[in-house]
Structure 1
Amino acid sequence: MTFDLKSILPVEPHAFVFTFLIFISICAQSFSQQPTNYTSFKPGGQWLADDGEHIDSHGGNIIYVESTQTYYWYGEHRGTPRGASCYSSKDLYNWKNEGVVLEKGEIEVFERPKVIYDEVNKKFVMWFHFDNSKYLAAELGVAVSDTPTGPFEIQEHYRPNGHESRDIGMYFEPDTKKAYIGYAADHINKTIRMVELSENYLATTSKDVDIEAHCEGPGILKKNGKFYLLTSGCSGWTPNPATYYTAENIMGPYTKHGNPFVGDAGNNSFNSQPCFIFKIPGYKDAYLYMGDRWNGRGKPESEYVFLPITITEEGEMEIHWYNEWDLSMFTPEKKN
């Protein structure tokens, strides 16, 4: 008995095979984009997003949008295309890949994106390190978007008040709604300066001071009226011992303290470099250390070191290592 393949297929055989392959591809993609089921942080390990790929969002920050009760994590997308990536989450453990929200295009160096939400004008504002391949331009860049997932459009780039700017950190003061950028400045990060942003966060102001700290990668928090500035040394992609500073005013003067990483056997900030300190909403004194584990150079697969920050009763900053931890470590705030 023989069969005519054409008599039992609605399309030509080669077309059927092509359609079948497309179907298999779609199914494989669907299965690879299953939601993750993380219930804790595991510092330094592989961290997959909903697409089954390692999260590619380095040197950035996290914001929380109250209206949607959603976290957004921005950072350097070091894969293709290069630029700024965005991931969203409801619990800080499991992240959805929202894609590249700003492509760097012809920008030779795009680093350290930090995003802040302007509640008044309903805009998302991104600041970043804008530079040439020799790191001699040393400018701040700013971009804006109407939505958290972009696209962000670059507005301008320049040296703030004439000062070189490379690694940046950001701090938002919830009481006054003011925002500040700490930036590694002048003569290859000779010092860190602190500059206040305009009311709409789209420009730097003339309120710009030298806090006399030879370091980079600044992260900032405030507790009991005191500001804590966490920094790394200047050693390129190689991790080093961190240092923290304190001040009664965010513009200084700052007092230098020691390394807050307790039990740091490698003397290298648990093999990481700070990029941001995130105050987790809904918990009392819940400060999240965000660090990058570059492993000698910036790669898409570079890992992250997320750890809780403790401010002791004596007012000292401490960061302890945990192989695994979760938000139950913090005390929930009482709801009114």
Structure 2
Amino acid sequence: MTSQHPTAIRPGQPWLDTSGNRIQAHGGSIIVAEDGRFVWYGENKEFTTAGSPTWHWGVRAYVSDDLINWEDRGLIIPPVLDDPTSPLHPEQMMDRPHILRHPVSGRYVCWLKIMGAVSTQSSTVLEADDLFGPYRIVREGLRPLDMDAGDFDLVTDPTDGKGYYYFERVHSELICADLTTDYTGVTGYYSTHFPQPHPPLVREAPAYFRRNGRHYLITSGTSGYLPNPSEVASADSYHGPWTVLGDIHPSDTTRTSFRSQISSVFRHPGKKDLYIALGDRWRPDLSPEQSDRRELYAARFTGRISHEDFVTALGPALDTTASTQTADYVWLPLRFNGEVPVIEWHDEWSPEDFE
């Protein structure tokens, strides 16, 4: 944005904090602090350049009164630099922090996806007495339900405080697992959804929200940092069964979710019916035509081409070479046709446009 005090959200445009620096809160979510301010937190990618082994530089947070102007509050979970085996080391490939506030203890519980080696993805769980930290690790190397856990979302029921954990069982299906009462683990009760044979068909990046008592999940196809069509499903309960409603971006003729991937959906507590999809445009340098390489993922995971040929064909879009420090954000409001949510493009918009 060109102004230090912008009055609108401009999806896909560089977003600066109140100090004039690029906001670094990728794979992000919003939580309302105890003082009523909005807190946007996510992966800090400020040092993640093309070819760099630095996947992240901790979890960064910003505060705002209007969801437009954001003040940098710094790292709430800093990287661990002196231990290469720590799940918080910049090369251990931490993704998608999600934080819940426990309704009884008041503690903040943060789950992190740790890729490390793609074949052994795991979770790390931290706790803090204050939203802004310090956080302490209480579990690491966690393979919930003895499964490799990929992209995920955390949910708290607003009536009984029960927690749920939606995650991609890597390259397979989506899992809904009940959290333990302290939110730091899973009970063992779970359900399975959206089974698919291979990427890019496998559903990842689950983003949950609830409206009028109905449950919704937005998911993405699986093709690294290349965007995919987003699919939305609805259900009567957390564990489904889920009914697929189709592409939530039906007006996007490129079928790349406006070149983004949604990480979470935030319901504005001060508006009647405002839900905001928080998305990342991981590769703003790629055009929609360049982004559409999903067929390569299908060929790779069905064995039609070798991994070496896959890497060669994919070229600079390969995950490990992406310069995500310049990734942009695509935040858009949801519109509802009855019970069917739709996301349409807006060059700019403001929460003040809504009642």
Using the size of structure 1 for normalisation, the TM-score is 0.83
Matches within 5 A, 1:158-173: 158-173=142-157
User: Given the alignment, which residue of 315, 329, 336 partners 1:304?
Assistant: 329
The residue that corresponds to 2:16 in the other structure is 48
Deviation at 1:262, TM superposition (A): 3.1
- 3-state DSSP of counterpart to 1:167: strand
> For residues 207 and 285 of structure 1, what CA distance do their matches in structure 2 show?
32
> For residues 232 and 191 of structure 1, what CA distance do their matches in structure 2 show?
12
Query: Could you tell me whether the CA contact under 8 Å between 1:104 and 1:110 is conserved in 2?
Result: no
User: Given the alignment, which residue of 131, 134, 153 partners 2:136?
Assistant: 153
Deviation at 1:51, TM superposition (A): 2.4
Matches within 5 A, 1:1-336: 36-65=4-33, 67-80=34-47, 82-105=57-80, 106=84, 107=87, 108-132=92-116, 134-157=117-140, 158-185=142-169, 188-213=170-195, 214-295=202-283, 296=317, 297=322, 299-313=324-338, 315-331=339-355
Aligned residues: 292
Give the CA RMSD over aligned residues.
Answer: 1.7
Query: Could you tell me whether the CA contact under 8 Å between 1:288 and 1:307 is conserved in 2?
Result: yes
> For residues 192 and 123 of structure 2, what CA distance do their matches in structure 1 show?
16
The residue that corresponds to 1:12 in the other structure is none
5+ residue gaps, structure 2, are: 48-55, 196-201, 284-316
Query: Could you tell me whether the CA contact under 8 Å between 1:277 and 1:287 is conserved in 2?
Result: yes
> For residues 150 and 134 of structure 2, what CA distance do their matches in structure 1 show?
23
Deviation at 1:124, TM superposition (A): 1.4
What amino acid does structure 1 have at the position aligned with 2:230? Answer: A
> For residues 351 and 28 of structure 2, what CA distance do their matches in structure 1 show?
21
Deviation at 1:308, TM superposition (A): 0.5
Query: Could you tell me whether the CA contact under 8 Å between 1:74 and 1:115 is conserved in 2?
Result: no
- 3-state DSSP of counterpart to 1:111: strand
Identity %: 29
Deviation at 1:179, TM superposition (A): 2.3
Q: What whole-Å deviation, never above 9, does each CA across 1:189-214 have from its counterpart, x for those lacking one? A: 31110112222222222222111343
What amino acid does structure 2 have at the position aligned with 1:245? Answer: A
> For residues 110 and 259 of structure 1, what CA distance do their matches in structure 2 show?
28
Q: What whole-Å deviation, never above 9, does each CA across 1:65-120 have from its counterpart, x for those lacking one? A: 2x301111110111247111111112111111111121342331100101111232
Q: What whole-Å deviation, never above 9, does each CA across 1:164-193 have from its counterpart, x for those lacking one? A: 1011122222122222221111xx331110
Deviation beyond 4 Å, 4+ runs, structure 1: none
5+ residue gaps, structure 1, are: 1-34, 332-336
> For residues 221 and 246 of structure 2, what CA distance do their matches in structure 1 show?
12
Query: Could you tell me whether the CA contact under 8 Å between 2:103 and 2:161 is conserved in 1?
Result: no
Give the structure, 1 or 2, with the largest relative contact order (CA under 8 Å, sep 6 or more): 2
Query: Could you tell me whether the CA contact under 8 Å between 2:11 and 2:329 is conserved in 1?
Result: yes
